[in-house]
Chain A
């Protein structure tokens, strides 16, 4: 473990932006939208310090396609936005997946559907974990719960994107993005980079290269899809991440991510004081979802309590993961109505 120096009090959005720069981000393109504006604002000053490019694009459509151009030229690039802006980017994310290009996309979620409000919510789980755009593809999805994870996952996101030549989404929410917490702003290990022989930087000393996702002849388009699916199976095998708290003797396991997991963690601690045998299972990668791990846990625990800041999206994955006969209950509130730990405990008692 590297010496990470002193912790600093910093907002989640700023920690994420600084983590990205230290991970090697050199081109950022984005369009303003609340609650993620600290990301572009910070990077507009920070990137020039490291010889990078910050450009406020004319739209989210332009942002994601500028990112596509920059990563095709071999540079680590990123965009950030919030829910409606991420919806606009879906075509570009699909192209990144089809082109097999690495990119990091940050979604600090706001309420929906439609323009919605800027309160804390997790309504974009389906969009994030099912690809989001057209075609049969997936993005790796990291769900931070702390400001420290905003920093650390920015680093991890660039590494995973390059390793698998695939877009990686960081799915945060307003609380994580806006709150300040103590965090180390130095990576805990050296940054990993890879060679990128597929990039288009001029046909010097080699035949011309092309980046595309359209294959009109023969079975090439189908072949691309099989290649992508093989890659996704590899990611499902090797990149599942999750955290557990007090599940060893738990009779009921809460399942939650992001800000909901913070509330759930407080609820577990309070419930334990009351003698309730409750634990927390927190998926860190929402895709790949920790399906095998939840399944194994459900051999022993037969009561799961899924808690989300929406009206039930991840719960589908939980139900699909557990062994038949396992009880899975859901509690959630959408659009900024933040339940307290006491609310969660009350629901647990009602089980």
Chain B
């Protein structure tokens, strides 16, 4: 008698992704899909995609998805969740999307304590546009727009989102994890599961930053890129739980707008 011990989560479609060899988006996608399965929310989930490499995540996730303008994922997510509080809403965003062009939307959604789970993939570089500087590019790191390396004098410091989020009162849970080895992947999985739980059980804002490898734009073989995350990125972006409030009263509004169909004056055509 054979027993199946490993299979594709229902939350993922059976397709090949467009991600580069050694890219950790695939790992992160799988962890999110496992969480969708675990909590049984796939059929009421809406994933908000960013502009960036994961803009095509609609091809990979077996749940409803919507594409947001660059940086606006948490505004779109807010609109969906406020309109339909019964839905499970997650955003999946890169560092450029969440921490640069969308920093305002990110901080305000967090500060309002929107009942949304945020998966924030930080790989210290712009992937889809071809390796330009990210808000999280390390000091001295060379990119196509910092050819001599990022300097404090010209570009300032790498932005530490997990630390920043932890200071906002609306945030229930905030952790930085990585995916460079099996142990870290397991921790990342646990973090994503907890962020989902925070939304499902407590209507809270959960934020998971995932240190990720972009071998193509780091111009490194996959294994070396993983090692770079472990050895270099972690120095600037320490791993750990930055905030995990005990369950309390929901900071998010619970009232749903009355469905239009329930209006006495409504007439379908």
Residues of A in contact with B (beta carbons under 8 Å apart): 22, 24, 26-27, 29, 48, 50-53, 55, 57-59, 61-63, 65-77, 91-92, 95, 99, 187, 190-195, 200-205, 208-214, 216
Residues of B near A208 (CB, < 8 A) are: 13, 58, 61-65
Closest to A51 in B: B258
Residue of B nearest to A24 (CB): B260
What CA separation (Å) do A275 and B9 show in the bound complex? 81
* Sample of 9 A–B contacts (CB below 8 Å): A24-B260, A53-B253, A74-B84, A191-B266, A193-B261, A193-B266, A202-B63, A212-B66, A214-B55
Closest approach, in angstroms, between the C-beta of B12 and any C-beta of chain A? 11
Interface residue total, chain B, C-beta cutoff 8 A: 49
B108 at the interface (CB under 8 A from A): yes
Q: Assess whether B76 is in contact with A190, with CB atoms less than 8 Å apart.
A: no
Name which residue of chain A comes closest to B88, CB basis: A202
Chain A residues with CB under 8 Å of B67's CB are: 99, 210-214
- The listed residue (A24, A77, A191, A212) touching B79 by CB distance below 8 A is A77
Chain A residues positioned under 8 Å from B83 (CB to CB): 26-27, 53, 69-71, 73-75, 77
Contacts of B61 in A (CB 8 A): 208
Of B39-47, B176-184, B240-248, the one with at least 4 CB within 8 A of chain A: B39-47
Q: What is the CA–CA distance of A63 and B79 in the complex, to the nearest angstrom?
A: 9
* B75-A69 in contact (CB<8A): yes
How far is B56's CA from A157's CA once the two chains are assembled, in angstroms?
Answer: 33
Contact residues of B: prevailing secondary structure:
mixed
B-side contacts of A204, CB under 8 Å: 43-44
3 closest A-B pairs by beta carbon, nearest first, are A69-B79, A26-B257, A65-B75
Contact of B105 among A24, A65, A75, A202 (CB under 8 A): A65
Mask of B236-269 contacts with A, CB within 8 angstroms, 1/0 = 0000000000000000010111101101011111
Chain A residues whose C-beta falls within 8 Å of the C-beta of B265 in the assembled complex: 22, 187, 190-191
Contact surface of B with A, Cβ cutoff 8 Å: 13, 42-46, 48-49, 55-56, 58, 61-69, 72, 75-84, 87-88, 104-105, 108, 253, 255-258, 260-261, 263, 265-269
In the complex, the answer to whether A202 meets B64 with C-beta atoms within 8 Å is yes
Asked if residues B80 and A69 are in contact (CB atoms below 8 Å), the reply is yes
Q: Are A200 and B66 in contact (CB under 8 A)?
A: yes
Task: Check if B257 sits within 8 Å of A72, measured CB to CB.
Answer: no
**Least distance between A116 CB and chain B CB atoms (Å):** 24
Contact A209 B64 (CB under 8 A): yes
Additional A-B contacts beyond A55-B82, A200-B65 (5; CB < 8 A): A24-B263, A50-B258, A57-B108, A69-B77, A214-B67
Given A26-B83, A52-B258, A191-B105 contact (CB < 8 Å):
no
Contact A72 B79 (CB under 8 A): yes
Inter-chain contacts of A61 with B (CB < 8 A)? 72, 75, 104-105
B82 nearest in chain A by CB position: A53
Contact A69–B258 (Cβ < 8 Å): no
Give Cα distance in the complex from A53 to B83, angstroms: 7
> Which residue among A53, A55, A191 has the maximum number of chain B CB atoms within 10 Å of its CB?
A53
A residues less than 8 Å from B77 (CB atoms): 69
Decide if B79 touches A27 in the complex (CB within 8 Å): yes
Query: B residues within 8 A CB of A195?
Result: 268
Give the shortest distance, in Å, between A60 (CB) and chain B (any CB): 11
The docked-state distance in angstroms from the alpha carbon of A165 to that of B81 is 21
Whether A91 lies near B69 (C-beta < 8 A) is: yes
Contact of A193 (CB < 8 Å), options: B13, B45, B260: B260
